[in-house]
A and B are shown apart, each in its own frame.
Chain A
């Protein structure tokens, strides 16, 4: 597994979104000033090989619960963005007792009444960027390094790894929403106010379903606030996680 790790402090596991593997960016940098950050690449993403046995989103959740065991982390703060937020929510439903806290940044994963996620797989690049980013320039941070055959094959492998678990039903697990009530970890929901993939109304559904969840929104962001306003999001995460530690 391709696993980036840095920083000192309580353990924090970060689960990236589609396309976000393997880049240690200002968001992770800032978290690492307070936490020992573990940042794995999902199977089929970045340097992690594709895994045939992953056929359902719950397989990814088990995969990361296994990682907590391997790292001998009895408990950790769990932060997931977008697709990674979906995996994090599945983990929290299974094993809240392993989590100090849960932070979901514009997660997908549940069906929200009255909303259908736009089908990113069918979009040309400009449309895709406009759907995901409030400011498309922020996409430069995760732009592919070149157009070589190796890079294109890697991107294709990454897309396939997401499609494998998210093509249909698209970006959600029909069983997840009603299971969210099982989550006992303190939960913070972060949301970009201009998210066009999963607009703010989706945030309301998450807040409603997860007991005690708090919501904080980011006025300058679309679907990926941790890339668009990394300092502000990191600060919100740090403050929330520290509060949970103080509360114990």
Chain B
């Protein structure tokens, strides 16, 4: 199994406002405190490479305290020159959120060239609140996503210049310098919450599918749908096409891990993902069949989740090294996921580094039967 260290770069704070997104006033943001946090978070990502993680991950969110990385490519750029081995996964760029998605093709190519081909390019639509924060029309976000993805893939793989005349994006000259170093292009991943349409789209193109912060039952269901779709497209999914993103909390014993999780991991769901009702599902963002599926079997809102829900639902992995190994085996052996992306939060920077070290020493080595495999070979393109 491959391990990727994932960061949200949260601005952890308590507040009584109805939403941590879009409307939470940025007067709460103290740039000096933010400076300290950014450096700690970048240190953690760099440390992950030293400890043996296979990849490090950044991602894009706007106008919130949950994740302060409005431009993931900026953060990836900082990491590229400070690392030398780990993959750098941008999970991802919100394609429909960019007025001019050719810029994404250019920026990822820059990162790929400077890093010597270590970049993984996530393609996402962005979650509901981004459409409020960036005033992008949610009703055609899926169409824009598909068209921007086509543009970017062609920009990476076809010799320029060529014209591109889409419904949303039009260029007389597509001809980005630089071209990416990876051939035919950097691997593309699809982080998603499991909409049927995205599962199909990713499976068809062999793009790895990443389930983010979802209960384990739903992961199993969506993995099943993805594998089945791959078979329909005439191939068998590699385990490295099935990726999961969930927080891990590891400590000397279960009790201590639980205490840390209650203090830290719960914040992400209960506060970080608190948002006004309209932000969850902007009009037209979700297809009607997907909306029906959600409404008919309405999951708990993140703010309603208790530690027990997270633990029993498999939203997080928490415990002693032995417990964490057992729980990870469910992912590696039962769900047959090839890659686990996880962030950690020990409460302070130092404690987070200690937790990372404990995980790298006591857990990771037990899952290294595939150490010699390149997880990006043959998938994602």
Q: Which residues of A contact B (CB under 8 A)?
A: 55, 119, 121-124, 149, 152-153, 156-157, 159-160, 162-164, 167-168, 170
Contacts and interface: CB of A to CB of B under 8 A. Distances in A.
Chain B: number of interface residues, binned into ranges: 20 to 34
17 contacts: A121-B132, A121-B278, A121-B282, A124-B276, A124-B277, A149-B295, A153-B291, A153-B295, A156-B281, A156-B283, A159-B283, A160-B139, A163-B283, A163-B284, A164-B139, A164-B284, A167-B139
A121 B283 contact: yes
B137 to A, nearest CB: 4
B135 A149 contact: no
Interface in B1-45: 18, 22-23
A122 B138 CA distance: 13
Interface string B253-292: 0000000000000000000000011110111101010011
B136 interface: yes
Given A153-B292, A163-B138, 7 more contacts: A121-B132, A121-B282, A122-B23, A156-B283, A156-B286, A163-B284, A164-B137
The main secondary structure of chain A at its interface with chain B is helix
Given A167-B137, A167-B138, A149 B283 contact: no
A168 B277 contact: no
Contacts of A163: 137-139, 282-284
Interface of B: 18, 22-23, 132, 135-140, 276-279, 281-284, 286, 288, 291-292, 295-296
Contacts of B138: 163, 167
Contacts of B135: 167-168, 170
A123 B277 CA distance: 8
Nearest to A170: B135
B126 to A, nearest CB: 15
Nearest to A120: B278
A130 to B, nearest CB: 15
Contacts of B136: 168
A124 B292 contact: no
Nearest to B278: A122
A122 B139 contact: no
A129 B3 CA distance: 49
Contacts of A157: 288
